[in-house]
Amino acid sequence: MTRKPPEPGHPADFLEARREKLNRLIGLGVDPWGRAFRRTHTLGQVVAECASLEGQRVFVAGRIMAWRSHGKAAFADLEDASGRLQVYLKRDRVGADSFTLLELVDLGDHVGVAGEVFRTRSGEVTVAVDEWSFLGKALRPPPEKYHGLRDVESRYRQRYLDLIANPGTREVLRNRSLIVRTLRDILDERGYLEMETPTMSAVVGGANARPFVTHHNTLGIDLYLRIALELYLKRLVIGGYDKVYEIGRVFRNEGVSFRHNPDFTMLEFYEAYADYEDMMRFTEYLIPEVARRVLGTTRIIFRGNEVRLDPPWQRQTLREAIRQRAGVDFVGLTDIAAARQAARDRGLEIAPDATRGQILDQVLDRFVQPDLIQPTFLMDYPVEMSPLAKRRRDDPSLTYRFEACVGGIEIANAFSELNDPIDQRERFLEQAGRRDRGDQEAHMMDEDFLTAMEYGLPPTGGEGIGVDRLVMLLTDSPSIREVIAFPLLRPRA
């Protein structure tokens, strides 16, 4: 590709203009990349403490976000993680040579400045610069200063530009960090130990999902990326830790949607000698408490609805919730053919060999979850959908399991853990049968886990929370991709 040679004063394009400035800087013996710069204050601190700082000399640094030139003076807006601050660059103050060098400054450059804090006529806190230096030249221009970066694809592919240009994105990812930290704080306060379990292993389980496969070269074996944290955390409970949790990435080889990303963050916690009732009580404390600590309120807006997170949350059996919203008792319906037909009558596409669990999943997805705006526990899932949950004493076809829905999406899944290794083996066998019949989401037989269970898992309450979805909820984000810094996209062709 040929390109016009840049004429002096008329560079062929914006990239060459910046390259040329860079070369001029190097030619002048100026280091365009800078070195560590000892700030006395962040930009936000200068603004916040301006009353006491007025008249004092400060050292601050930031990226140049706006530039207003006035002949022998100029104003620039600097930005760092703490905020934005205006600086005033006057020839009489910085000196003629240094002022001339400002011609080589571009939007997006990092600079460090020293100068006196003052207020302009209009009252804006400003630093009257007497010395400045380059801390990092930008060879590409930042996005448009007023509209920012709007193109959704560019925002995800080049998240750094999204972050530079859009304060709202900075706020969301910052809140994500605070939410995760707060989850840890609360779990720590409650005496849970944070653990780390394998992300790769020869057998995966803990959820109905297709795993990613990878390969270990020296061992010469295929390994799976984990789809849940459950089976290893339960081993730790067997080992004697009575309260454990893990926050970590899990990987599911399935489609992408506004609430699905192939890798996402799960929180799972397990408490020995507890049950799903305890998990419900803890959940309806945990979620509003996170909201209160991070956002300062338990009343949030999500997708245009006000959601009140305060306890107690609604409780409804799955059976009743479905009967109420779909008009059919799908849980109680034992005739599978009739169930398939009833689902089809309600506009669902049901495969001829669909199991009851698959039908219930679809009915839940379509009719029940979207309707559950206020926090709700859906309780008592059928045993065939819940191969790791304890059976109800009063009805062994159901389990002590609940899912929590908030804002119309599922954010948590919990149960009284199945601790009978004989029943667990039967459940795995039943799942393995489905696998043999082609259900790639069915559980694998996990002899190692069964062996562990045979050493004795105490009655245990366990729960998984979709951290990304919780962040969506608390930041009113319409898509999971808004709360994941670098969501998966197809590579650019």
**Where do contacts with RNA occur on this chain (CB under 7 A)?**
9-14, 17, 21, 66-73, 75, 77, 86, 88, 90-92, 106-107, 118, 120-124, 126, 141, 143-154, 156, 255-258, 347-349, 362, 365-366, 478-479, 481, 487, 489-490, 492-493
Q: Could you tell me if 377 and 282 are in contact, meaning their C-beta atoms sit under 8 angstroms apart? A: no
**Token pair of 276 as six digits:** 């799903």
**Token pair of 170 as six digits:** 């900075």
- CA 462/CA 192 separation, integer angstroms: 12
Q: Write down the least CB distance from residue 184 to RNA, Å.
A: 29
* Closer by beta carbon to RNA, 123 or else 296: 123
- CA 39/CA 37 separation, integer angstroms: 6
Q: Write down the least CB distance from residue 165 to RNA, Å.
A: 7
- CA 206/CA 226 separation, integer angstroms: 9
* Closer by beta carbon to RNA, 86 or else 399: 86
Q: What is the CA radius of gyration of the chain?
A: 29
**Taking the mean position of all CA atoms in its chain, how far away is CA 35?**
33
Q: Write down the least CB distance from residue 415 to RNA, Å.
A: 25
* Closer by beta carbon to RNA, 13 or else 196: 13
* Closer by beta carbon to RNA, 17 or else 200: 17
* Closer by beta carbon to RNA, 393 or else 490: 490
Q: Write down the least CB distance from residue 90 to RNA, Å.
A: 4
Helix (H) or strand (E) holding 448: helix 447-454
Q: Write down the least CB distance from residue 493 to RNA, Å.
A: 4
Q: Write down the least CB distance from residue 208 to RNA, Å.
A: 15
Q: How many residues does the chain have?
A: 493
Q: Write down the least CB distance from residue 216 to RNA, Å.
A: 28
* Closer by beta carbon to RNA, 184 or else 259: 259
| CB neighbours of residue 320 within 10 Å | 15
Q: Write down the least CB distance from residue 35 to RNA, Å.
A: 25
Helix (H) or strand (E) holding 411: strand 409-416
Q: Could you tell me if 264 and 257 are in contact, meaning their C-beta atoms sit under 8 angstroms apart? A: no
Which of 404, 461, 462 has the alpha carbon at shortest distance from 287? 404
DSSP string, 126-190: EEEEEEEEEEE--SSPPSPTTT----HHHHHHTHHHHHHH-HHHHHHHHHHHHHHHHHHHHHHHT
- CA 368/CA 360 separation, integer angstroms: 10
* Closer by beta carbon to RNA, 354 or else 389: 354
* Closer by beta carbon to RNA, 37 or else 67: 67
**Taking the mean position of all CA atoms in its chain, how far away is CA 33?**
33
**Token pair of 156 as six digits:** 């995800």
Q: Write down the least CB distance from residue 484 to RNA, Å.
A: 11
Q: Write down the least CB distance from residue 179 to RNA, Å.
A: 21
Which of 53, 170, 138, 25 has the alpha carbon at shortest distance from 85? 53
* Closer by beta carbon to RNA, 119 or else 181: 119
- CA 167/CA 269 separation, integer angstroms: 33
Residue where the block lists tokens 């011609």: 103
Residue where the block lists tokens 């004429």: 7
* Closer by beta carbon to RNA, 158 or else 201: 158
* Closer by beta carbon to RNA, 88 or else 449: 88
Q: Write down the least CB distance from residue 478 to RNA, Å.
A: 6
Say which DSSP state 391 is in.
Answer: B
Work out the burial of residue 260: count CB atoms within 10 Å of its CB; fewer than 13 is exposed, 13-18 middle, 19 or more buried.
Answer: middle
